[in-house]
Structure 1
C-alpha cells in the first residue's frame, strides 16, 4: 500500500467532509506523526506478539488518527500501549457478548482493539498472528457489523465510509 498517497486521499476526503458538515457533527484531525521502527519494536515486546505487517506499515506513516471515521479513533502506539482510550476499548470488548464473538469465530484473547469510539459501542478488532484469521479486522457494535480481510482493506473501506458521509451531508443540504 502506498501510505503517503492513501493518507493524503483520506485527508482530502476529511477536508471535504468538514466543509459540508454544517452542524459540526464530527471533529476533524490530521493523522498523528509517524511512529519509529524502534517504537514499534518496543510496543511488540510490550504486547508479547508481532503487530500485523500491514498495520505496522501504516503506523510508520501515521501513528494513529483521532476522528478517523466519525467519532472512531484509529489507535497508534500510545493507545496500543494501554492508555485511557485502550482501556475504554477493552471495556467495550469485555461488554461484547460471548455469543457474538463465538459467532464471529474469535475469543477476546484472539484480538487486539485497533480503533474504537468513546461515545458509542463501535470497536474494531485486529485478529492476532496466532489465529486462523490473522490480520482480519472485525467491526463490532454489540454484534459483528463488518469484516475486512486485512488492514489495507479496512483502511480503504473507511475512506469509502467517509466519502459516503460527504455525499450524505451534501444531499442533506439540498433539502
Structure 2
C-alpha cells in the first residue's frame, strides 16, 4: 500500500513539475507582465488534511488529496486563478468570494442546468479578477470527483481532478504558443 501511495505521489510531483516548467516558459515570454507567477505551496501535512476533512464532513477526493500532499495549493495556477490549498478549504477571503459566486450561479439556475445542487459542489479554485470558479463534486454527489469550470455558465467539465490539472497545463501550453506568435 505504501508503495502504491509513493507511486501516486511521484506521479503528482512529475505533473506539478511539468506545470511549473510550462509557467516558467510563459513568464520568460511575458515581456509586459500580464500575470504574476508563483511556486506551488509546500506539501500539506496529513494533519492539515485530516482537519480539513473533519471540517468539510467528508473525505477529500483522492486525486485532489494526492495533489495537496505534494503542493498545498498554487497561487496563479492558471493566469489569475488560484488553486486552493488546505487554508482556503478551511476558509479564506477567496473561499468566501467563491462561495458567493456559487450562490449567484445557484440563483441564476446555472448549477441546476449542470445537473447538480449547490450543496454537491466544493470550490477548489477561483480568482478575484473575474467570474472563473472551479468546483469539485463532493463524495455525497451522484457523480463524485467531477471538476466543473464555471464562468457565468458551465465552461468545461472534467471527469477527475487529474484530468482537470492536465487540461489546465495544456491551456498554459497554448498560452506559450500565443505569446510566441505575439513576439
TM-score range, shorter chain: over 0.9
* Distance of 1:98 and 1:77 partners within structure 2: 29
Match of 2:34 in 1: 25
Residues 14-35 of structure 1, C-alpha deviations (whole Å, 9 max, x = no match) = 0000011111111100000000
- Which of 64, 69, 72 in structure 2 is aligned with 1:60? 69
CA RMSD of aligned residues (A): 0.8
- Which of 24, 27, 47 in structure 1 is aligned with 2:56? 47
SS of the residue corresponding to residue 11 of structure 1 reads: helix
- Which of 157, 165, 169 in structure 2 is aligned with 1:159? 169
* Distance of 1:107 and 1:98 partners within structure 2: 12
- Which of 92, 101, 109 in structure 1 is aligned with 2:101? 92
Runs (4+) off by over 4 Å: none
TM-score, normalised relative to structure 2: 0.92
* Distance of 2:113 and 2:90 partners within structure 1: 28
C-alpha displacement of 1:100: 1.3
- Listed as ranges, the gaps of 5+ residues in structure 1 are none
Matching of residue 36 in structure 1 with residue 45 in structure 2:
yes
Match of 2:151 in 1: 141
* Distance of 1:116 and 1:123 partners within structure 2: 5
Equivalences, count: 173
* Distance of 1:141 and 1:103 partners within structure 2: 14
